[in-house]
Structure 1
Amino acid sequence: MELFADRAEAGRRLAERLRDAHDPIVLALPRGGVAVAVPIARTLDAQLDVLVTRKIGYPPAPELGVGAMAEGGEPVFDLALLQRLRLTPESVAGVVERERRELARRVRAYRGDRPLPSLEGREVIVVDDGLATGGTARAALRAVGAAKPAKVTLAVPVGARETVRSLRKEADEVVVLQMPLDFRAVGQWYVHFEQLSDADVLDLLGRGGSGGEGRVSP
C-alpha cells in the first residue's frame, strides 16, 4: 500500500474527497492532525480551528489509553478495557484530573482566551493524522455532537479497519483514504512523520501565538 509522503500530502489528498462540504469549519486534533487539516482548510476555503483532546492512560503504563477527553466534553472510557484491567472510571480520577489540566494548558497555548467557535447548525469536519484505537477521535466526535452541528464528518488519511468501523456510529460520515490489513501504528504509513511541538502547531495555524482564528491563507 502506498505511503503518504507527509501529513501535508495526506491532507491534500483528503481535501479532494471533501470538496462537496458546504461552508464547513475544520477542527484539527493537535498536534499531528493540524498538519493534515491546514491543506484541507485551504482547499475548501474553510475556517480552521483546533479541538484539543487528551488520552487517559493506564497508570502503570500511560501509553495504554483507557479513555480520552476533548475540550467541552466529558471523559469517554473504554469500559471493556477498564473491566479487563479491573479498574473503574473512579479509580483513574487522578489521571483524568492531570489530563484536564494539560488539556486546559494546550487550549490556552493554541487559542488563548478565545472560546471554541459555535458549532451549532454548522457542517464540521474533524481531522486527525490517523486512527489506531480511535479513543481521542471518539471523545472529539462526542464533544462536537453535543454542540448540535448540522453534520459531522471525520476525515483521516489512514486507520485501522475495526476502529474506522466503530467510529462510523459516532459521525454522520467517515472519510478515510486507506485501511490497511496490517495496520500497527499510524506512523508506519508516512515516509516523514515527525513529532510536532506546540510551536509547530501555532506556526501551522499561522497565528504566531496570538490565538486568532480565521481562514488559512494561500
Structure 2
Amino acid sequence: MKRFANRQEAGRALAARLADRSWHDPLVLGLARGGVPVAKEVAAVLHAELDVVVARKIGVPGHPEYGVGAVTADGNPIYDQHTLRSLNLTEDQLAHVCDQERAEAERRTALYRDDKPLTITGRDVILVDDGLATGVTAKAALRWISGHGPGSTTLAVPVSARASLDGTPVVAVLLPKDFRAVSRWYDSFGQTTDAEVLSALE
C-alpha cells in the first residue's frame, strides 16, 4: 500500500476524495496541530474557508501518549470507557490530567484563533486530521462541532485504522489492515509547530 510523502501530499489526495461531493458553504476545520497542513490543501481544492479546532489527548499517567480520552477548550471531556475499564482507571483519577490538557487547548485556541468569529451554524463542516489511530481526539472535536449546529459534519483523514471507525462516518484515502501508527504511512512526519499552524491559517 502506498505512503504519503508528507502532509501536503496527503491533503491533496484527501481533497480529491472530497471534491466530487456537493458542499453547502463548506468550512474545513484542521484538527490542531498536525491536521492543519492537511486541511489547508483540502480547503484550497474545495474553495472553502479554513479554520482550526483544538482537542487535546488525555493520556494515562506515566504514559501520556496512550490516549484514553480527549478534551476541547470548552466542553466536557470524552473518554473511551472500555479502555478505562481495562486499565482499572476512573475519570476522577484523570481529572488533573484533563485540567492540564484543557488549559493547553485554551492556550492554543487563543493563539490560533485570536478571538476571530467562527460561524458553524447551518454549514457543511469537514473535520480534517492527518490520520486516525484511536480516534478519541477526533470524537471530542466532533462533539464540539455538533454543539454549534452544523448543517452536516464529515470526518476526513488520509489514513485510518479500521478499528477507529467505530460507527463514525469517515472519509479515508487509506484503510490499511496492518495500521500500527499514523506516522508509518508518511515518509516525512515531523511535529507540526505553532508557527506552521499560524502560517497555514493566514
CA distances 1:142-194 after superposition (whole Å, capped 9, x unpaired): 11112221110001000001112x152xxxx4110111011001011011111
5 Å matches for 1:103-118? 103-115=105-117, 117-118=118-119
Separation in 2, partners of 1:72, 1:119: 16
Q: Which residue of 1 aligns with 2:12?
A: 12
Matched, 1:146 2:147: yes
Kindly state the Cα deviation for residue 92 of structure 1 after the two structures are TM-superposed: 0.9
**1:196 corresponds to which of 174, 177, 192:** 192
What's the TM-score once normalised by structure 2's chain length? 0.95
Aligned equivalents of 2:199, 2:121: Cα separation in 1? 28
Contact 2:73–2:103 (8 Å) recurs in 1? no
| Equivalent residue number for residue 40 of structure 1 | 42
Q: Partner residue of 1:91? A: 93
**Residue pair 1:71, 1:143 contacting (<8 A) in 2 also:** no
Asked if 1 retains the 8 angstrom alpha-carbon contact of 2:12 and 2:42, the reply is yes
**SS across alignment from 2:196:** helix
Q: Secondary structure at the match of 2:50?
A: strand
Query: How does 1:60-71 map onto structure 2 within 5 Å?
Result: 60-71=62-73
Q: Tell me which residue corresponds to 1:163.
A: 164
**1:162 aligned partner, one-letter code:** A
Q: With structure 1 as the length reference, what TM-score do the two structures score?
A: 0.88
| Identity score, percent | 52
* Structure 2 partner of 1:120: 121
Give distance in 2, aligned partners of 1:133 and 1:180.
14
8 A Cα contact 1:32 1:196, kept in partner: yes
SS of the residue 1:52 aligns to: strand
TM-superposed deviation, 1:65: 0.9
- Provide the C-alpha distance between the structure 1 equivalents of 2:74 and 2:126, rounded to a whole number of angstroms: 17
The SS at the match of 2:4 is coil
Say how many residue pairs are matched: 200
1:60 Cα deviation from its structure 2 partner: 2.2
Cα 1:144–1:16 change in 2 (3 A) is same
Q: What is the CA distance between 1:133 and its match in structure 2? A: 0.6
**Residue equivalent to 2:130:** 129
Aligned residue for 2:44, secondary structure, equals helix
In 2, Cα distance between equivalents of 1:10 and 1:2: 11
Would you say the 8 A contact 2:27–2:123 is kept in 1? yes
Contact 1:74 1:143 in 2 (8 A): no
Distance in 2 between residues matched to 1:95 and 1:51, nearest whole Å: 20
Q: Which runs of 4+ in 1 moved over 2 A?
A: 70-73
Q: Distance in 1 between matches of 2:74 and 2:17?
A: 28
* Distance in 2 separating the partners of 1:191 and 1:25: 28
CA RMSD of aligned residues (A): 1.2
Residue 128 of structure 1 and its aligned partner are, at CA, apart by: 0.1
Paired AA for residue 153 in structure 1: T
Which structure 2 residue ranges, 5 or more long, are not aligned?
none
